[in-house]
A and B are shown apart, each in its own frame.
Chain A
Amino acid sequence: MSTTLERIPWWRDRRVVPWIVQAVVGLALLLVITLLVGNLVRNLTAAGLLLSWRWLGQPASFDVAESLIPFDASMPYWRALLVGLVNSLRVILVGLVGATLLGTAMGMASFSGNGLLRRLARVYVEVIRNIPLLLQLLFWYFVVFLALPNGTAAFQLPGIVLSKSGLYLAWFAQGLSWLGPELVNGVWQAPLRLSVEFTALLTGLITYTGAFVAEVVRGGIASVPKGQWEAATSLGLHWSASMRSVVLPQALRVIVPGLNSQYISLAKNSSLAVAVGYVDLYSVSETTLNQTGRALEVFLLLLGSYLIIDLLISAVMNGANQLVQIRER
């Protein structure tokens, strides 16, 4: 045994080759990183912009259009960035719910007995997936939402008013009194107002992600064995009932892992808010960079925030995944 080992040349020796490969790769990586970081430090020092977080405490001196937490121009940068983060989270959360609902409906529709509905669901998916999201967002905002009428001409449904200045919804006002939108001096007032930028961004994100969710849902439903449908139908269950109580619960096992990545891409895509004038984290970061010149710090903050959001979504979805998997006893 030892004699054969002796004869293997070193470049074929399985105990040596991996180490050499790793050493070469490691060295190359180390070199590149040293070069990049070294230059970065040197150039930033020369520009007087070496990593520092003191600027976060200085007043931002710009305003933001909408914020869930109190903010004005005299508050520091960190507060402005926090406003951006909260705004991002808001659109991501609502977007997730909306995209799931739309996607599930469309995914289910592609199994409908109605041929028209089925084809329409396909057309929706094929149209939306092949057009860039940014283009869709610009279209929604500049072509659709900015063409909406204002004031009395606005679209009105009981409890909902859609106008150029935003989406007005009925909600609980002080206490538990239900309050709908009303026109005061030509301006709509409502307990819950979503700005048109938010609404446009949300519409774009939901329709876009919805198409991908629909595909995930369709794949999930298709993975349920045909016999399950037949069994449900033979028990006398209606289409919707068999879908709801037999097929969908089983499909969830395939759907939930697929949703994870769609949710994460929705979260990341929300950074396109900057194109439609919604003040999200990226938008605030860009303004901050412009005023402070702190490119590296701003980038690190951005990266960290999105990473945390991604991890949060993954964690929640992993939990959900464990819930829907078959528990074997």
Chain B
Amino acid sequence: MTPIQTGPESGTTPPLRPARPAPESVQPNWAGALRQELFASRTDGLVSVLLIMVILAAALGLLRWALAQAQWAVIQANTSLFAIGRYPVQQQWRLWLLVVLVAALSGVSWGLLRAFPRADRSGEIWPFNDRLVVALLGFLAAWLPAALALGLPLQLRWWVITALLVTMRWLAGHWGRSLPSRLVKLVPLSWPLLYLFGMVLIAGGLGLPRVPPSEWGGLLLTLLMASFAILLSFPIGVVVALGRRSSLPLLRWSSVLYIEFIRGAPLITLLFLGQNILGYMLPGGWAPDRVWRAAWVLTFFCGAYLAEAVRAGLSAVPPGQLEAARSLGLSMPLALQRVVLPQALRIALPAAVGQFISLLQDTTLLSLIGLLDLLGTARTVMANPEFLGKNAEVYLTLAVLFWCCCAALGLGSRALERRLDPTHSPV
């Protein structure tokens, strides 16, 4: 059984990745020389020259535009709107606190991952090119605040936060092994806690003044919606996938109905349902705020696709596993929980991450129903007389931002896949 390996993927079933590096196998004499790579034959040479010319022209044009023509003031003047929307100024310390906590915890987790390499792969740390990532972080911390023309106090804050992250990584990497193992086990558990705490910080409650969802915006809203939908869609996906494979007709049919209903409709029509009809379906006053309504629509949307990914994972687990577990005397729930699901979820991981990446991208559709997510904010900014017609700058910036987020998720998923892989070489 070849595990299905996928990268980022939008929508439905995962495309198959080649099980082995196919390009090399086509050209056995790949061995190196540029000449063979690019100019193996006359046609190849012609194609290469043509491509090089096109690439050079495109790169030069883009560079000239970006450096000379583009007016990046539209980004610089609106960084706050892009980042957090209309979040009240006097409450913004809460977001800073959250960023600090996230940075610290990421640093710790990262360091611990380094401190505890896979036992069966001595010397291989995770991720293996991690010095490069630190260098990249340092560069971003130095360059980005300056490029965005942030004030010096803000720049300082970002430097401090980056320094905190790197320090925590170093500390945890060095001392992680000497920590009591009970403490180390707490770290993965602290992420969900941090998430809950973060929600409280953002939305208010527990003594903090409430900040209504209509004042969240920009990247904050995008990340919040995506993370909310991802977290909650996971249990939905697992339950529905189990339901779909269940032998009980009612469970199976309701799961199938749910999956097919969601997958049959474009997301925008479901958002339409959430915005225009859900209000009628709930008793007066029950309907959540429209931001939350959209979040729930995204969650149920993602849940259906995730169910398909998990189902694929479930069907890849040999039936003997369940039978063996049952014959050992485990009850059905226990057998599923301890034996089948861990294997199935590991197999489903790439497809699930692909789904999450596409969900992150799908949050842009919120701008079509008038929410001020990253794209919605961008459209507001471009309506500002000062920045009229700065489409290219804004869209390109957003594209780069989304690309980085999605690519990072994809890379992270591949690294995680390697770490969870029980065998040395898949296939």
Contact = CB atoms under 8 A, between A and B. Distances in A.
Interface string B354-369: 0001000111110110
Contacts of B25: 226, 229
B357 to A, nearest CB: 7
Interface in B184-233: none
B375 to A, nearest CB: 6
B41 to A, nearest CB: 8
Nearest to A261: B12
A135 B8 CA distance: 17
Nearest to B278: A36
B371 to A, nearest CB: 13
A101 B94 CA distance: 51
Contacts of B48: 114, 116-117
B272 interface: yes
Interface in A213-272: 215-216, 218-223, 226, 229, 254, 258, 261-262, 264-265, 268-269, 271-272
Given A29-B254, A221-B22, A132 B272 contact: no
A18 B272 contact: no
A299 interface: yes
Interface in B14-38: 15-20, 22-23, 25-27, 37-38
B282 A39 contact: yes
Contact of B250 (A22, A111, A116): A22
Contacts of B279: 43
A131 B281 contact: no
Interface in B321-336: 331
Size bracket of the A interface? 35 or more
Interface stretch (B153-161, B166-174, B397-405): B397-405
Contacts of B107: none
Interface stretch (B75-83, B260-268, B342-350): B260-268
Interface stretch (A54-62, A138-146, A175-183): A138-146
Closest 6 CB pairs of A and B: A222-B18, A219-B16, A261-B12, A115-B37, A265-B11, A130-B406
16 contacts: A25-B251, A111-B22, A111-B23, A113-B41, A117-B47, A129-B7, A130-B407, A136-B399, A219-B17, A222-B16, A222-B22, A268-B11, A269-B266, A282-B266, A282-B269, A295-B277
Interface of A: 12, 18, 21-22, 25-26, 29, 36-37, 39-40, 43-44, 47, 110-111, 113-118, 120, 126-127, 129-136, 138-139, 142-143, 212, 215-216, 218-223, 226, 229, 254, 258, 261-262, 264-265, 268-269, 271-272, 274-275, 282, 286, 289, 295-296, 299, 302-303, 306-307, 310
Interface of B: 7-13, 15-20, 22-23, 25-27, 37-38, 40-41, 44, 47-48, 51-52, 55, 247-251, 254, 264-269, 272-273, 276-277, 279-284, 331, 357, 361-365, 367-368, 375, 391-392, 395-396, 398-399, 402-403, 406-407, 410
